[in-house]
Amino acid sequence: EAVLYTEGPLLILAGAGSGKTRVLTHRIAYLINEKNVHPSNILAITFTNKAAREMKERVINLIGAKAKDMHISAFHSFCVYILRQDIDILGYKNNFIVYDEDDSLSTIKAVLHDLNIDPKHFPPKKLLSIISKIKNEYLFPEDYRKEVSDEYSDVIYRVYKKYQEALMRANAVDFDDIIMLTLKLFEVDKEVLSYYQQRFQFILVDEYQDTNKSQFKLIKYLSAKHKNVFAVGDTDQSIYSWRGADISNIKNFEKDFEQAKIIYLEQNYRSVQSILDVANSLIKHNYGHNTYVKQLWSERKSDFLPVYYRAVNSDVETEYIALKILEKIEHEGYKFKDFAILYRTNAMSLSLETTLKKYRIDYEIYGNVSFFERKEIKDLSAYLRLIVNTNDDTAFLRIVNVPRRNIGVKTIEELKRYANYEGISLFESCKKTTITSNKTRQNLIDFVNLIEELQQVLLNEDIDVNDFIDMVLDRSGYRQMLEFENTEEAESRLENLEEFKTLTLDIEEDINELGMSTVRMSSYDKLCLILNNVALSSDKKEKKE
C-alpha cells in the first residue's frame, strides 16, 4: 500500500527494523517503471551522504542505470547544488566554500578577538552552538536582533552579525547557512523556486522525525505545486532535539499537508519478539498525548531473554562484562569476534579497556579519527581552498606557515590588524602590508606568488585534478616535509594524501547525478565540488550514523 499510493501527501510511520528503506526504494522503482515518471522528476532526501549513496545503490539494483538520472542526496548536498547555480543572487560568488565546524570555530574566535569579548565568559563552542540553533529557527541576524532582551543576548547578536559578515567576506557558508540561504534564495527569486517546484514532482524524505524548522520549510516550498510528499519517520526514534530537530514536524504532518494519508509499518524483521517486548514496554512511557502509537511485532522467536544487570559502580560493571564473555567462550563455544560492547561516551572506554586487558580479552575499538579530520587532509584542503578563494582567511591561517616559512605569530597579528583596518583579506594584506622585516615580507610575497601561480595553472591549463593536487603538494613543499620526516606516521600521512585523490571518482558520480554529465566541467569546477564534499563529510553534524 505504501508503495502503490502515489497521489498526495503520505506519512509512513515506520518502527525500527520494519523495512522502511525497502519501501522507499520500491516506491521509487514503482514510480519510474509503472507510473512512467521520469527519474529527474524525483527527489529523495536523506540525512547523510552515506544513506543517500546506499539508497541510490538499492534503486539501481532494482531498475538499472536509468536510476542514475534521479536526485538522491542529503539535505545539505542538495542545497549546495542549488546554491552553486544561483547563490550570486544573494551577493555571494558561485565558487563559495563550505566551512566545517573547525573552520567556523576559528572564525568565531577571530570575531571575539575583534569585538574584544572574553572567550572565558563567552566560550566559542557554546556561541557557535547557540548561533546554530538560531539559524535552524530560520533567523538571520536582523531577525534575531528583535529578540535581544538583555546583555547576554546582545553579545550573541553582535557575534552572530560579525560572524556572518566574516563568512560573506570570505565567500564562505557554514553548515547551517546551506539550507538557510537556499530558503532565502527561494523567497528572493520566485523563478528559481518555480523551476525546482516544477522539476521535482515527487519528493521523498527519510528520517522525517529529525527535520528541523528550516528543513521542514524547504520541503513545504518544494512540494507546494505537486503536493506529492512521501515522508518516512518514527516518533519513537526522535533523539536529535538538542540539534534542532522538531518532533512537531512529524506530529503535525496531517495539519501541515492537507488530505494526508498515514500508514503504519509495525512488523519488525530485525529482532526477535522478546527484544521487542522489552522495547515496547519502555517506549510506551514516551507516548503521553502522542496519537501515533505503534506496537512492534515479529515472527522471529528465540529462547533467549534480554538480561538487565545493574552494577554498583563501573568497576563491577566491567568485571561482569568480561566474566560473561569468558563464560560464554568456555561453555558455549563462542569466540571473541562474536561479542560487541556498546558504550555511551568515549570516556567510558578506559574502564572497559583496563578490565579486558586484565583478563587478556582481545578487542578492537571502532570510531577513530575521521579521515577528513586528519591534519594532513585538513592542510591539503586548506591549500586547495585558498587557491580557489583567496578571501578564505581560515584556510590562510592554517597553511601560511605549513611547511615552516618563518612567518610567526607576531607577523600574523600584524597582518590581522592591517586586514581589519583596510577591510581586506589576510591574503590581500600580504601584498600591501608595511611589515618592517625585509626577510618576513619576502616570505609573505613568496607565499602569495606560490598561491597565485597555482591559481593560474588551475584556471588556464587543462590539467587533471589529481595532477593538480600532486602539483600543490610538490610546489608547497608539503610532500617533501613528510618525506624528510621519515617516520611511520609521516608515511601514513603520505598514504592518506594519496587516498584523498580518490575523491575525484566520487565527483564523477556526483556530476552524473546532478544532471551535469553533458556539461564540460573545468578542473576548477570539479575542485570546488570536491571541497564541498570534504566539508560536508567532515562536519560533525553530518556524522549521524
pLDDT tens-digit map of 124-148 = 999 999 999 999 889 999 999 999 9
Helix (H, G, I), strand (E, B) or coil at 62: helix
At 497, which CATH number? 1.10.486.10
Instruction: Considering only CA atoms, give the Rg of the chain.
Output: 26
Average pLDDT over residues 393-415: 92
What is d(CA 19, CA 262) in angstroms, rounded to the nearest whole number? 16
Q: What is the pLDDT of residue 293?
A: 81
Is pLDDT at 75 greater than 60 in this prediction? Answer: yes
Average pLDDT over residues 221-247: 88
Residues 296, 349, single domain; the answer is no
What is d(CA 199, CA 70) in angstroms, rounded to the nearest whole number? 11
Residue 449 lies in a domain: yes
Residues 287, 208, single domain; the answer is no
Residue 306 lies in a domain: no
What is d(CA 262, CA 10) in angstroms, rounded to the nearest whole number? 6
Q: What is the pLDDT of residue 434?
A: 73
Residues 450, 380, single domain; the answer is yes
Residues 120, 76, single domain; the answer is no
Q: What is the pLDDT of residue 238?
A: 80
pLDDT (tens digit per residue) in 300-328? 988 889 999 999 988 899 999 999 999 99
Q: What is the pLDDT of residue 177?
A: 96
Residues 190, 287, single domain; the answer is no
Residues 420, 496, single domain; the answer is yes
Residues 349, 471, single domain; the answer is no
At 222, which CATH number? 3.40.50.300
**What band does 538 get if pLDDT is binned at 50, 70 and 90?**
low
Q: Phi and psi (nearest 5°) for 134?
A: -60, -45
**Average pLDDT of the residues of the chain:** 89
pTM of the model as a whole: 0.77
Handedness of CA 449, 455, 460, 463 (dihedral sign): positive
Q: Which of 293, 291, 296 is nearest to 279 (CA)?
A: 296
Is pLDDT at 436 greater than 70 in this prediction? Answer: no
Residues 71, 113, single domain; the answer is no
How far CA 297 is from CA of 123, 232, 269, 306, 321, in Å, comes to 47, 19, 9, 16, 29
What is d(CA 283, CA 261) in angstroms, rounded to the nearest whole number? 24
pLDDT above 70 covers a percentage of the chain that reads 93
Residues 158, 277, single domain; the answer is no
Q: What is the pLDDT of residue 323?
A: 97
What is d(CA 410, CA 423) in angstroms, rounded to the nearest whole number? 20
**What band does 22 get if pLDDT is binned at 50, 70 and 90?**
very high
Is the CB of residue 349 less than 8 Å from the CB of residue 366? no
Q: What is the pLDDT of residue 518?
A: 45
**What band does 67 get if pLDDT is binned at 50, 70 and 90?**
confident
**What band does 521 get if pLDDT is binned at 50, 70 and 90?**
confident
Is pLDDT at 461 greater than 90 in this prediction? Answer: no
Please count the structural domains in the chain.
5
Angle, helices 375-388 vs 488-500, to 10°: value is 40
What is d(CA 78, CA 71) in angstroms, rounded to the nearest whole number? 8
pLDDT (tens digit per residue) in 327-347? 999 999 999 999 999 988 766
Residue 2 lies in a domain: no
Q: What is the pLDDT of residue 49?
A: 82
Give the domain extent around 396.
371-538
Highest mean pLDDT among 58-62, 217-221, 481-485: 217-221
Is pLDDT at 513 greater than 60 in this prediction? Answer: no
DSSP conformational letter for 404: -
Q: Which of 175, 275, 198, 295 is nearest to 539 (CA)?
A: 175
122 contact partners, CB below 8 Å, separation of at least 6? 112, 155, 159
Residues 259, 294, single domain; the answer is no
